[in-house]
């Protein structure tokens, strides 16, 4: 079951840190957005944060699944849930960004309907103090993807 994090319940920081090494950035977007959690047998196995960019655009700021539960379809459920909630809330566009080295994430987002929109060169070198390496690739550029929700 995916539901909005109830009021007064601490966000699953350990989980969100899997997707973003910066605790400060996570705290910033938790303040601006809403955290949704995937719960099974009282365990929080996945989470995402949806935050408005403006009145027409909403962004998935973070999506993460417990390491032991990855590859079982939970990530896809979370992304599809975010798209549905964005539609229901009347947003015209949903966005997500990831690193050039995040091959699996790029596959997942495109499987959920996202299209590539732009590249922010050197985003990760400018915004993160520690080097990030995934799949043997240095993460330097941010790839932005989006879905137009009303055509
Ligand atoms: N190449 C091709 N396809 C891939 C892939 C890869 N390397 N990795 C995942 N996929 C595909 C799967 O095959 C699946 O497609 P299918 O539905 O057609 O079978 C789809 O992506 C969804 O996989 P799913 O099992 O739902 O993903 P998940 O539950 O493991 O969640 C993440 C995906 C990214 C949320 C999860 O791996 C995670 O938490 N990673 C660490 C945090 C992170 O990097 N978050 C994103 C920040 S940008």
pLDDT in tens, 19-38: 988 899 999 999 999 999 99
Q: From the CA of 146, how far away is ligand 1's center (Å)? A: 17
pLDDT range class, residue 7, cuts 50, 70, 90: confident
pLDDT range class, residue 151, cuts 50, 70, 90: low
pLDDT above 80 (res 127): yes
How far is the CA of 80 from the CAs of 60, 111, 116, 128, 130, in angstroms? Answer: 11, 10, 17, 28, 31
Query: Where are the strands (E) in 74-124, listed by range?
Result: 93-99, 115-120
Q: Return the pLDDT at 41.
A: 93
Ligand 1, CB cutoff 6 Å, lining residues:
18-19, 63-65, 70-76, 98, 102-105, 107-108, 111
pLDDT above 80 (res 74): yes
Instruction: Taking residues 98-106, report their average pLDDT.
Output: 97
Three-state secondary structure call for residue 102: coil
Mutate to test the pocket of ligand 1, among 49, 99, 104, 141 (most ligand atoms within 8 A of CB): 104
pLDDT above 80 (res 102): yes
């Amino acid at each position: 079951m995916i539901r909005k994090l109830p009021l007064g319940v601490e966000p699953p920081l350990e989980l969100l840190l899997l997707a973003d090494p910066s605790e400060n950035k996570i705290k910033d977007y938790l303040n601006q957005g809403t955290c949704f959690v995937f719960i099974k047998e009282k365990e929080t196995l996945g989470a995402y944060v949806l935050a408005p960019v403006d009145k027409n655009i909403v962004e998935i700021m973070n999506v993460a699944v417990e390491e032991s539960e990855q590859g079982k379809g939970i990530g896809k459920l979370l992304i599809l849930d975010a798209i549905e909630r964005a539609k229901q809330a009347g947003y015209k566009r949903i966005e997500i960004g990831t690193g050039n080295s995040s091959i699996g994430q790029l596959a997942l987002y495109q499987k959920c309907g996202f299209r590539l929109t732009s590249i922010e060169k050197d985003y990760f070198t400018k915004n993160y103090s520690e080097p990030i390496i995934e799949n043997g690739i240095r993460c330097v550029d941010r790839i932005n993807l989006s879905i137009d929700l009303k055509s």
